[in-house]
Structure 1
Amino acid sequence: MRLPRRFGGLSKRLSTPIPMFKHHTLPSLSFKWLYRLAGAALFVSTLSAVSAQAIRLEAEDGSLTGVSATTEATGYSGTGYVTGFDAADDRVSWSFQADAGLYRATIGFRTPNGEKGFSGAINGSGISGMFDDTNAFATFDLGLVNLQDGTNTAWIGGNWNYYEIDYLEFTPAEAPAGPQAVDPTPVDPDASAEVRELLAYFASVYGQNTLSGQQTRTDAASIQSRVGVYPAILAEDLIEYSPSRIEHGSDPSGLTESLIPLVDNGTILTLCWHWNAPTDLLDTTEQPWWRGFYTEATTFNFAEALADPQGEDYALMLRDIDAIAAQLQKLEDANIPVLWRPLHESEGGWFWWGAQGPDAFKELWQLLYDRLVNYHGLHNLIWVLTSEDPDWYPGDAYVDIVGVDAYPEDMTATLSSSWQAMLDRFDGRKMIALTEFGGIPDIEPMQALGVWWLYFQSWTGGQYGPDAVDDAYLAGVYQSDAVIVRSELPAGVSKDTWAGYAIDANLWVDTGDFLGNIWVGDDSDWIWDAPLQHWIWLPESQVQNDGAWAWVAGD
Structure 2
Amino acid sequence: MKTHHRIPAIIAAAAFAAAAVSPVMPTVTSGADKVLKYEFEDGNTEGGKIFTEGWAGNTSEDGEGEEMDMTSFSGTGFSYLDQKGTTVSVTADVPEAGLYELNICYCEPYDPNKKVQYLNINGVNQGEVTFPHNLSFSETSGGVVSLKKGENIIELNSYWGYTYFDYLTLTPADKSITELSPTRTLSNPDASESAQRLYSYLRDQYGNHILSGQQEYCGSHNYNIMNDPDKVYIKDNEEEFEYIKKVTGKHPAIRGIDFLVYNSDSTWDDDAAERTIYWVKELHGIATVTWHWNVPCAKDRTKRAFYLEHTGNTPFTTFSISKALEE
Instruction: Give the TM interval when normalised to the shorter protein.
Output: 0.5 to 0.7
Tell me the secondary structure at the aligned position of residue 131 of structure 1: strand
Counterpart AA for 1:58 = E
In structure 2, do the counterparts of structure 1 residues 202 and 221 end up closer, same or farther at CA, with 3 Å as the change threshold? farther
Matches of 1:162 and 1:109, distance apart in 2: 11
1:479-490 alignment runs, 5 A limit: none
The corresponding residue for 2:280 is: 263
User: Does residue 77 of structure 2 align to residue 76 of structure 1?
Assistant: no
Structure 2 unaligned segments of length 5 or more: list them. 1-30, 56-69, 217-233
Tell me the secondary structure at the aligned position of residue 181 of structure 1: coil
The answer as to whether partners of 1:214 and 1:235 remain within 8 angstroms in 2 is yes
Give how far 1:118 is off. 1.9
Identify which of 86, 106, 119 aligns with 1:90: 86
Tell me the secondary structure at the aligned position of residue 140 of structure 2: strand
The corresponding residue for 1:116 is: 115
In structure 2, do the counterparts of structure 1 residues 240 and 107 end up closer, same or farther at CA, with 3 Å as the change threshold? closer
1:37-52 alignment runs, 5 A limit: none
Deviations 1:456-476 (Å, cap 9, x if unpaired)? xxxxxxxxxxxxxxxxxxxxx
The answer as to whether partners of 1:354 and 1:361 remain within 8 angstroms in 2 is no
Give how far 1:60 is off. 2.6
Counterpart AA for 2:50 = S
User: Does residue 254 of structure 2 align to residue 233 of structure 1?
Assistant: yes
Matches of 1:198 and 1:257, distance apart in 2: 18
Structure 1 unaligned segments of length 5 or more: list them. 1-49, 278-300, 321-342, 364-555
Matches of 1:152 and 1:233, distance apart in 2: 31
The answer as to whether partners of 1:303 and 1:360 remain within 8 angstroms in 2 is no
In structure 2, do the counterparts of structure 1 residues 119 and 227 end up closer, same or farther at CA, with 3 Å as the change threshold? closer
1:85-234 alignment runs, 5 A limit: 85-95=81-91, 99=95, 101-102=97-98, 103-113=100-110, 114=112, 115-127=114-126, 128-142=128-142, 143-149=144-150, 152-171=152-171, 176-181=178-183, 184-186=186-188, 194=192, 197-198=194-195, 201-202=198-199, 205-206=202-203, 207=206, 211-216=211-216, 217=234, 218=238, 219-224=240-245, 227=248, 229-234=250-255
CA RMSD of aligned residues (A): 4.4
In structure 2, do the counterparts of structure 1 residues 231 and 352 end up closer, same or farther at CA, with 3 Å as the change threshold? farther
The aligned length equals: 247
Give how far 1:357 is off. 4.5
Matches of 2:166 and 2:314, distance apart in 1: 36
Give how far 1:165 is off. 0.9
Give how far 1:351 is off. 7.5
Matches of 1:105 and 1:258, distance apart in 2: 40
User: Does residue 301 of structure 2 align to residue 359 of structure 1?
Assistant: no
Give how far 1:202 is off. 1.9
- From the two aligned structures, give the one with the greater helix fraction: 1
Matches of 2:183 and 2:314, distance apart in 1: 35
Deviations 1:194-223 (Å, cap 9, x if unpaired)? 4x7416742663345555433334234554
1:266-345 alignment runs, 5 A limit: 266-274=284-292, 302-304=296-298, 307-308=299-300, 313-314=301-302
Counterpart AA for 2:256 = A
Matches of 1:210 and 1:94, distance apart in 2: 28
The answer as to whether partners of 2:297 and 2:315 remain within 8 angstroms in 1 is no
Give how far 1:86 is off. 1.9
Matches of 2:134 and 2:183, distance apart in 1: 36
In structure 2, do the counterparts of structure 1 residues 224 and 145 end up closer, same or farther at CA, with 3 Å as the change threshold? closer
Give how far 1:78 is off. 1.4
Query: Whose relative contact order is higher, 1 or 2, with alpha carbons under 8 Å and at least 6 apart?
Result: 1
The answer as to whether partners of 1:184 and 1:200 remain within 8 angstroms in 2 is no
The answer as to whether partners of 2:115 and 2:130 remain within 8 angstroms in 1 is yes
The answer as to whether partners of 1:104 and 1:145 remain within 8 angstroms in 2 is no
The TM-score normalised by the length of structure 2 is: 0.57
Matches of 1:57 and 1:349, distance apart in 2: 34
The answer as to whether partners of 1:347 and 1:358 remain within 8 angstroms in 2 is no
In structure 2, do the counterparts of structure 1 residues 51 and 238 end up closer, same or farther at CA, with 3 Å as the change threshold? closer
Counterpart AA for 2:90 = W
Matches of 2:105 and 2:96, distance apart in 1: 23
Matches of 2:184 and 2:272, distance apart in 1: 34
User: Does residue 49 of structure 2 align to residue 67 of structure 1?
Assistant: yes
Q: Which ranges of 4 or more aligned residues in structure 1 deviate by more than 6 Å?
A: 50-53, 345-348, 350-354
In structure 2, do the counterparts of structure 1 residues 349 and 199 end up closer, same or farther at CA, with 3 Å as the change threshold? farther
The answer as to whether partners of 1:235 and 1:269 remain within 8 angstroms in 2 is yes
The answer as to whether partners of 2:257 and 2:288 remain within 8 angstroms in 1 is yes
In structure 2, do the counterparts of structure 1 residues 221 and 362 end up closer, same or farther at CA, with 3 Å as the change threshold? farther
